[in-house]
């Protein structure tokens, strides 16, 4: 019998097409979202507003208030990705709020107008509920970027009542929120300058400002201390199902014992005393990752065995062959991962 062979042409590689397109124009790409820097504006000494013009690959029709994008920058020849909240977005303009607190966010402040970056499509589940039920929004620090976007959406949806509590030192978007409160009587704005008052989030403060807070759909984004406080308050009031949160700085349990971790496919062992991602990087490994906040799913992998803790939710995963995110998972026992 004569063997039959059929020629199968190789598929065109996307990276090669992008290489060719970008050599013609830096905004051109087959599928990737490229964007040109239109404005870099300081909102405060710590906060930067970055305005981008995306290419035609950006799907503005899917953007929801409260979502974010992954911003990719090449720094010293290395690609870095971080997640930043969308303040406004349409097909021709994306406005991001960025706090200077790390390598990428500090580099953003020095981006020249007219330069080019890569971003993702809008992503994240920190979005407003449907309908017109009343809502409470609580923000501190850079968390105001996501909350401000949600508040504007709440006005568009004509929620029956909107309360905004904003703990701040530098008053980013304070004037804008004051103006919204004057225009829309259903919006009650509670501004707290923490430097002047020393006031922080407590149940007594919540009860004073929004007596029925436990019955509200509540959206919170801000500092670690505030997020821990509101989580405890809502747990204690059996209202945790109404609390929606977004974390910018996930915190590990610093009192936990370091655990041995084994990357099965690469045959790599290391000790994990932080998140699995950070611990792997400290050991010289480079697992794929993106937002470092549990949003983008780039670092999702299979945990073969062992127990991990989700540092955002506190949930323990005892199962075998389950999906975890390295960036928000901390080893509680020895762990084997299929990487």
| Protein fold of 19-119 | Elongation Factor Tu (Ef-tu); domain 3 (2.40.30)
Mean pLDDT of 269-277: 93
pLDDT at 3 over 60: no
Pick from 189, 211, 183, 335: which is nearest to 262 by CA? 335
CATH 3.40.50.80 maps onto the chain at: 135-246
What's domain 259-337's superfamily in CATH? Beta-grasp domain (3.10.20.30)
**What are the pLDDT digits (tens) for 208-246?**
999 999 999 999 999 888 998 999 999 999 999 999 998
Question: Cα torsion at 65, 275, 308, 234 (round to 10°)?
Answer: -40
Could you tell me if 93 and 176 are in contact, meaning their C-beta atoms sit under 8 angstroms apart? no
Identify the CATH number of the domain defined by range 135-246.
Answer: 3.40.50.80
Q: Which region among 26-30, 58-62, 94-98, 152-156 has the lowest average model confidence (pLDDT)?
A: 26-30
CA 135 to the chain's CA centroid: 21
* 34 vs 162: CA distance, rounded Å: 36
Pick from 132, 133, 138, 130: which is nearest to 65 by CA? 130
* 36 vs 25: CA distance, rounded Å: 11
**What are the pLDDT digits (tens) for 138-182?**
999 889 999 999 999 999 999 999 999 999 988 899 999 999 999
CATH 2.40.30.10 maps onto the chain at: 19-119
Cα distances (angstroms) measured from residue 317 to each of 12, 259, 308: 41, 15, 5
> What pLDDT sits at residue 256?
81
DSSP 226: H
CATH 3.10.20.30 maps onto the chain at: 259-337
How many Cβ atoms sit within 10 Å of the Cβ of residue 222?
A: 27
């Amino acid at each position: 019998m004569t063997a039959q062979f059929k020629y199968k042409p190789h598929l065109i590689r996307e990276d090669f097409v992008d290489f060719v397109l970008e050599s013609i124009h830096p905004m051109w790409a087959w599928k990737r979202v490229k964007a040109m820097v239109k404005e870099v504006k300081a909102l405060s000494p710590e906060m930067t507003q970055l305005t981008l013009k995306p290419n035609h690959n950006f799907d503005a029709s899917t953007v929801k208030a409260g979502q974010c994008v992954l911003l990719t920058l090449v720094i010293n020849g290395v690609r870095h990705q971080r997640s930043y909240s969308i303040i406004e977005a349409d097909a021709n303009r994306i406005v991001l709020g960025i706090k200077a607190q790390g390598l990428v966010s500090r580099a953003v402040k020095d981006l020249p107008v007219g330069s080019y970056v890569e971003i993702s499509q809008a992503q994240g589940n920190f979005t407003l509920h449907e309908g017109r039920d009343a809502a409470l929004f609580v923000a501190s620090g850079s968390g105001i970027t996501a909350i401000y976007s949600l508040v504007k959406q709440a006005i568009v949806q004509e929620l029956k009542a909107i309360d905004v509590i904003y703990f701040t030192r530098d008053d980013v978007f304070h004037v804008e929120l004051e103006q919204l409160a004057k225009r829309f009587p259903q919006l009650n704005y509670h501004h707290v300058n923490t430097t002047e008052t020393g006031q922080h989030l407590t149940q007594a403060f919540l009860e004073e400002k929004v007596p029925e807070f436990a019955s509200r759909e509540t959206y919170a984004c801000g500092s670690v201390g505030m997020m821990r406080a509101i989580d405890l308050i809502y747990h204690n009031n059996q209202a945790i199902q109404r609390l929606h949160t977004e974390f910018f700085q996930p915190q590990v349990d610093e009192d936990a014992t370091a655990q041995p971790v084994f990357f099965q496919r690469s045959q790599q062992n290391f000790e994990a005393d932080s998140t699995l991602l950070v611990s792997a990087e400290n050991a010289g490994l480079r697992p794929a990752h993106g937002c470092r906040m549990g949003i983008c799913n780039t670092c999702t992998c299979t945990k073969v065995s062992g127990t991990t803790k989700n540092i955002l939710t506190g949930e323990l995963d005892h199962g075998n062959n389950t999906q975890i995110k390295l960036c928000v998972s901390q080893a509680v026992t020895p762990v084997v991962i299929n990487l």
